[in-house]
Chain A
Amino acid sequence: MNTKISPAATNRIEFRDVSFHINDILKRLIVSQVSLEIPHGETLVLLGRSGSGKTTLLKLINGMLLPTKGEILVQDRPTTSWDPIRLRRGIGYVIQEAGLFPHFTVAENVGLVPSLESWDAARIAGRVDEMLHLVGLDPREFAHRHPRELSGGQRQRVGVARALAADPPILLMDEPFGALDPVTRAELQREFSALVHRLGKTIVFVTHDLREALLLASRIVLLEAGHIVASAAPQEFLRLEHPEVRAFTSSLTVMPGASA
């Protein structure tokens, strides 16, 4: 199983009737009968409340979780038949709080996957510079810092740079901007939305923030208790009548002065 995720192949992701339950005595169903096609180049936002199964769907894509029923195809191969290490090296992953390695410098964090893939040092260094520029950090200023010497927003930028370093055709993002203050969050969302169009990657983005979903998504999939309850392009999504959609859209309107 030496096949890598290849940039040339179609970066389709497909969920075929996928269920997942936690393997404890309760057998709690986290995801139930999900079927979903994510075509090449789409930015799919998985929207839902906490516990709706968004993160589980994400982890099913890179094989950190395997389905109890059904299958997930990445580049037309089920995740169960992929070598998990090869699969994950071809999929970028960004999480809340970034999860940067505190004992590595920014450059070492960003260069991690290339170094695992045994690129030569000069190529890694070049790539690290390029990635830091891409996320708006000056390499001369930031490359040698440690994560503790960065602000929350800078850390998240490094997290994005690290996920993109080996040029993976697929990018998974789990509430990457969730822990940031509103101003920094809006800034990163805007920059990232511009970046998305340049990258042309297949992106699956998890959030509970409808605003963020509307800004970034080419399609929004709404989850409720492990089921898909709506799937639509952003403009269309706002017009849907499903109660859970209404619950989310009503959270958008703010009335200044109205008593809570």
Chain B
Amino acid sequence: MNPQTTWSFFMDHRDEILGATLDHLTLVIIAMIIAIFIGVPLGMFIVQRPALRTIALGAASIFQTIPSLALFGFLIPIPFIGGIGKRTAIVALVLYALLPILRNTYVGLTGIDPAVLEAAEAMGMTRAQILFRVRFPLALAVILAGIRTATIITIGVATIAAAIGAGGLGTFIFRGVALVSDSLILAGAIPSAVLALLADFLLGLLERRLKVS
């Protein structure tokens, strides 16, 4: 691998790389928004329902154990959500992102000092008031830590989504593997790593601001 040629490859193709990075980011953001809108309310819901808790956390764990390439493959023949392209990729990414968000929401909401919850109940707060005014604000940092983990996973897994025609930075990696070109692989891998580090840093910053000691 010659750094010189890789650098000039990057400069020659910077518009394409930037375009793919934006595609990649779009894929991740859409998947994360959907995963948050499913995972956080579901996590709040299962706090009160032990039977559902096992099922929800179990199902989310199972999705996580399926190898990503296999999951993309499984989804292709499924009508409406499957097929080739971005939509299928987003479904798979949501399934992957769900577990850390769901689990952290649940852990955050249940891991609160029992004395605080006892006081809340004893002062005549309703269940809903306890959930939204006590549990949720106190769990926010933990929930955000889950979102942060999920985002980093999603940025990585999204590179594989190129295998089913979803575009993004994975396109360079797959092409690079096929053509045995290090420069092409790096054109996908480096921006993806930079995105992951950036997301980790920014969400980590937010997490620390929300932490209540």
Instruction: For chain A, give the interface size range.
Output: 20 to 34
Binds B, one of A92-100, A220-228, A234-242: A92-100
In the bound complex, what is the Cα–Cα distance between A89 and B122 (angstroms)?
8
With an 8 A cutoff between CB atoms, is B134 at the interface?
yes
> Do residues A64 and B212 form an inter-chain contact, with CB atoms below 8 A?
no
Select from chain A the residue with minimum beta-carbon distance to B136: A103
Chain B, 127-156, CB within 8 A of any chain A CB:
129, 134, 137-138
Select from chain A the residue with minimum beta-carbon distance to B117: A99
> Do residues A95 and B123 form an inter-chain contact, with CB atoms below 8 A?
no
With an 8 A cutoff between CB atoms, is B30 at the interface?
no
- Shortest Cβ distance from residue A102 to the other chain B in the assembled complex, whole angstroms: 5
Chain B residues with CB below 8 A from A98, complex form: 115, 119
Q: Which listed residue, B123, B137, B212, touches A93 by the CB 8 Å rule? A: B123
> Do residues B115 and A116 form an inter-chain contact, with CB atoms below 8 A?
no
Greatest chain B CB density within 10 A among A99, A113, A148, A159 is at A99
> Do residues B118 and A95 form an inter-chain contact, with CB atoms below 8 A?
yes
> Do residues A95 and B124 form an inter-chain contact, with CB atoms below 8 A?
no
> Do residues A100 and B138 form an inter-chain contact, with CB atoms below 8 A?
no
Greatest chain A CB density within 10 A among B122, B126, B129, B213 is at B122
Q: Which listed residue, A84, A91, A99, A116, touches B118 by the CB 8 Å rule? A: A99
Chain A residues with CB below 8 A from B118, complex form: 64, 95, 99
Chain B residues with CB below 8 A from A99, complex form: 113, 115-116, 118-120
> Do residues B119 and A96 form an inter-chain contact, with CB atoms below 8 A?
no
Select from chain B the residue with minimum beta-carbon distance to A109: B119
* Binary contact readout A88-128 vs B (1 if CB under 8 angstroms, 0 otherwise): 11010101111111110000000011001000000000000
> Do residues A89 and B138 form an inter-chain contact, with CB atoms below 8 A?
no
Q: Which listed residue, A96, A116, A159, touches B125 by the CB 8 Å rule? A: A116
> Do residues A102 and B126 form an inter-chain contact, with CB atoms below 8 A?
no
In the bound complex, what is the Cα–Cα distance between A99 and B122 (angstroms)?
11
In the bound complex, what is the Cα–Cα distance between A86 and B212 (angstroms)?
30
> Do residues B122 and A101 form an inter-chain contact, with CB atoms below 8 A?
no
Chain A residues with CB below 8 A from B16, complex form: none
> Do residues A113 and B124 form an inter-chain contact, with CB atoms below 8 A?
yes
Select from chain A the residue with minimum beta-carbon distance to B123: A113
Chain A residues with CB below 8 A from B121, complex form: 64, 88
With an 8 A cutoff between CB atoms, is A202 at the interface?
no
> Do residues A112 and B213 form an inter-chain contact, with CB atoms below 8 A?
no
With an 8 A cutoff between CB atoms, is A62 at the interface?
yes
- Shortest Cβ distance from residue A203 to the other chain B in the assembled complex, whole angstroms: 15
> Do residues B124 and A102 form an inter-chain contact, with CB atoms below 8 A?
no
In the bound complex, what is the Cα–Cα distance between A84 and B125 (angstroms)?
10
> Do residues B212 and A103 form an inter-chain contact, with CB atoms below 8 A?
yes
With an 8 A cutoff between CB atoms, is A215 at the interface?
no
With an 8 A cutoff between CB atoms, is A252 at the interface?
no
In the bound complex, what is the Cα–Cα distance between A96 and B116 (angstroms)?
11
> Do residues A103 and B124 form an inter-chain contact, with CB atoms below 8 A?
no
Q: Which listed residue, B120, B137, B213, touches A148 by the CB 8 Å rule? A: B213
With an 8 A cutoff between CB atoms, is A85 at the interface?
yes
> Do residues B115 and A97 form an inter-chain contact, with CB atoms below 8 A?
yes
> Do residues A88 and B123 form an inter-chain contact, with CB atoms below 8 A?
yes
In the bound complex, what is the Cα–Cα distance between A102 and B115 (angstroms)?
11
In the bound complex, what is the Cα–Cα distance between A214 and B63 (angstroms)?
62
With contact pairs A97-B115, A116-B129, A148-B213 given, residues A102 and B138 touching in the complex (Cβ less than 8 Å): yes
Chain A residues with CB below 8 A from B122, complex form: 62, 64, 88, 91, 93, 95, 172
Chain B residues with CB below 8 A from A100, complex form: 116, 119
- Shortest Cβ distance from residue A106 to the other chain B in the assembled complex, whole angstroms: 14
In the bound complex, what is the Cα–Cα distance between A185 and B80 (angstroms)?
67
With contact pairs A95-B119, A99-B115 given, residues A85 and B213 touching in the complex (Cβ less than 8 Å): no
Select from chain A the residue with minimum beta-carbon distance to B137: A103
- Shortest Cβ distance from residue A5 to the other chain B in the assembled complex, whole angstroms: 10
Select from chain A the residue with minimum beta-carbon distance to B121: A64
Given contact pairs A88-B123, A99-B113, enumerate 5 new A-B contacts (beta carbons under 8 Å). A85-B126, A88-B124, A89-B123, A95-B115, A102-B212
Residue pairs across A and B with Cβ atoms less than 8 A apart, 8 shown, are A85-B125, A87-B124, A98-B119, A101-B119, A102-B138, A116-B123, A116-B125, A116-B129
Interface residues of B (CB under 8 A from A): 113, 115-116, 118-126, 129, 134, 137-138, 212-213
Top 5 A-B pairs, shortest CB-CB distance: A99-B119, A88-B124, A99-B115, A93-B122, A89-B124
